[in-house]
Amino acid sequence: MTEESDRREEILEAALEEFSSKGFRGATIKSIAKAAGIQSPALIYWYFQGGKEELLQAVLARHAPVIQALRHPETLMERPPEEVLPMIARAYLATANSPIPQRLARLVIGEALRRPEVADMVAKRGAVRGLWFLKTYLEHQVELGRLRPHDTRSSARALIGMFVPQAVGDAFLPALKESDGLTDEEHIGTSIGIFLRGLRPEGITAEGAEKAWGVVE
Amino acid sequence: MTEESDRREEILEAALEEFSSKGFRGATIKSIAKAAGIQSPALIYWYFQGGKEELLQAVLARHAPVIQALRHPETLMERPPEEVLPMIARAYLATANSPIPQRLARLVIGEALRRPEVADMVAKRGAVRGLWFLKTYLEHQVELGRLRPHDTRSSARALIGMFVPQAVGDAFLPALKESDGLTDEEHIGTSIGIFLRGLRPEGITAEGAEKAWGVVE
DNA sequence: TAACACTGATTGAACGATTAGTCAAGAGGA
DNA sequence: TCCTCTTGACTAATCGTTCAATCAGTGTTA
């Protein structure tokens, strides 16, 4: 259960590479076999009797934990948004800049366009969980009086959404970032600044908030 | 030049339908012919000598004006953000809910993943133009003293990004919106509220702003 | 009017290439 | 010998594309 065959792992790696760059239909069993360094496509059927389809499922399953991610140590819950939100934004944009998650995103997006099950998996395991965590965190901060009361379903979407164009630029449309040269850190600073100021309770200034909640940096 | 053959138009329609639902590779010349109501795939080669590839290019070219869109009547420039931003958000989400733009988005996203030229077209004709308009508008509002000074490259991204999760939910991941039932109008109200409050000049209240700038609704 | 030819539009059948998947046989240890 | 792993050769189907033939009009000529 724990020890996977080396060959199987090699095939899965090659399949992710091929599927993500060429798409499910564009990648052929032979090209995957070649990329995995094996002589015959027949060997793939020894490890994945279900053929190409099972291979795709196995690749997705192989990285499902990564997709889930965003394990939320409850420690974050108590820390103030001035600290937590930039952390989340940095983690998000860092993911968009890493090769494996990029390939996974290419594969998953491409397949989600045609396969409702994949779209559903993305929505439920990825998006809904992420939004649920953000919403819970923001609600808790409202209860603590650090943010003014509002609809956290909406603010959770708005918060993560603010970084989507930049992430898409990183991962898929380099021309977008080149157009004005906005760096990730600049964007994080400005947009979280707007977000927090927009949700600051009445009559509280930035300096007062930092002192009251013990912001580290 | 103006009068296109009916048949050619029928084939283009069928091709958009097929390409967007099955992808470029997934859609076959025969299935497109069938969807267009013609008996033989050979007819497609009479109208598009370049074959399947030219057919794809023709479908994209057919709707290029729609992709550009966002013609910006200068009248918008002078009107206050309390009016303009919800208008933009509504137009954006309405587009995400319309069938033809949805199909186009499916096709374009799917192809942009594998074809750098398509990705570049999306970035330059779509994203960069849209961001440039928003940035210009926001800068102008800063000059008018209706928003406090800030990096408008970042706020333009943040603004349009806030609606991306909702738009994606509309067009691709229905499970996302079902998860908490947030409506488009609720989201527009809350998130633009946060955005505007976050960018309000120092010492100006919401009521004061509305009276000073003559917000209609 | 009738026969004809020309042109654009449409068809069914076929070709060659490529694909996912199969199979029997072999290699190499235990 | 037995079992796991690996291979090259093969199959059956499907794909994009080509091609010769045909159809429907539309003048043109006798």
Give me A148's structure tokens. 């003014």
Query: Which candidate from B153, B191, B198 shows the least CB-CB separation from A180?
Result: B153
Sign of CA dihedral B91, B93, B96, B100: negative
Please state, in angstroms and rounded to a whole number, the distance separating the CA atoms of residues A100 and A204: 43
CA-based nearest residue in chain A for residue B199: A194
Alpha-carbon distance A18 to A47, whole Å?
A: 17
User: What confidence score (pLDDT) does residue A161 get?
Assistant: 97
- Please tell me the pTM assigned to this model: 0.87
Is the pLDDT at B3 greater than 70? The verdict is no
Cα–Cα dist B33/A71, whole Å: 49
Which ranges constitute the DSSP H helices of A79-183?
Answer: 81-96, 99-112, 116-121, 129-143, 152-161, 164-171, 174-180
Per residue in A18-60, pLDDT tens? 999 999 999 999 999 999 999 999 999 999 999 999 999 999 9
**Inter-chain touch B25–A21, beta carbons under 8 Å:** no
pLDDT per residue as tens digits for the range B79-128:
999 999 999 999 999 999 999 999 999 999 999 999 999 999 889 888 99
> H-helix or E-strand containing A190?
helix A184-199
How far apart are alpha carbons A22 and A38 in whole angstroms? 19
First to last CA, chain A: 45
Chain B interface test: which of A117, A154, A199 (most B C-beta within 10 Å): A154
Q: At a CB cut-off of 8 Å and minimum separation 6, what does B63 contact?
A: B16, B100, B104
Q: Give the pLDDT of residue B119.
A: 93
Sign of the dihedral defined by the CA atoms of residues B75, B77, B81, B87, in that order = positive
Q: Is residue B207's pLDDT more than 70?
A: no
CB-contacted nucleotides of strand D (7 Å): 5-9, 14-20
Among B113, B131, B193, the residue with its CB nearest the CB of A106 is: B113
Mind telling me how many Å the CA of B182 is from chain A's nearest CA? 7
Protein-contacted bases of chain C (C-beta within 7 A): 9-13, 18-24
Cβ contact, residue pair A164, B163, below 8 Å: no
**In chain A, which residues have their Cβ closer than 8 Å to the Cβ of B155?**
190-191, 194
Is residue B208 within 8 A of residue B200, CB to CB? The reply is: no
With tokens 């208008």, the residue in question is B87
